Amino acid sequence: MYHDEAQQLVAKGLEALANEHEYLALTLFEQAIRMEWNPVACSCLAFCRAKVKGNFPEAILLARKALDSEPNNPIHYCNLGKILVMAGEMVEGIGLLRQGLRYGENLDIIRELERLGIRKPPIFKNLPRKHPLNKYPGYLLSRLWFR
């Protein structure tokens, strides 16, 4: 009985996430997890906690736990990648999003990668991207339409 109710809550939570109702989805996934642990619900709950509450360390742990239990599910890569991007860890987040595409086509992953876009290479390749000699001339050249 709990299994069916938990599955219904997860389905409603996924629908709420698709409609960008993160607070409702957070509540639904929390209720589903209380009834029965489910990797998809755990992964989506982690994303909702990161998005709504901004609690990135806890969200990353939850998402990694879900990914470890189902390593072939692209939803887990999508949620963990989005959480890492929100937390400011762009390189690792984008890497996980790309890795998730290997396990199946996921429109959320594709949309997120398109939203993030492709960065141009730094002007001075031997300096870090955040170095002032890369940052400010790159900004200036892009404003002058040379880059």
Q: Write down the domain spans for the chain.
A: 2-116, 120-147
Quick one: pLDDT band at residue 1, thresholds 50, 70, 90? very low
H-assigned helices in the chain: 2-18, 22-35, 39-48, 56-69, 74-86, 90-101, 107-116, 132-143
Over the stretch 39-63, which tens digit does the pLDDT of each residue have?
A: 999 999 999 999 999 989 999 999 9
Over the stretch 75-127, which tens digit does the pLDDT of each residue have?
A: 999 999 999 999 989 889 999 999 999 998 889 999 999 998 877 788 888 98
Is the whole model's pTM more than 0.85, yes or no? no
Give 2-116's CATH code, choosing from 3.40.640.10, 1.10.3720.10, 1.25.40.10, 1.10.4080.10. 1.25.40.10
Q: Give the span between the Cα atoms of 90 and 95, in whole angstroms.
A: 8
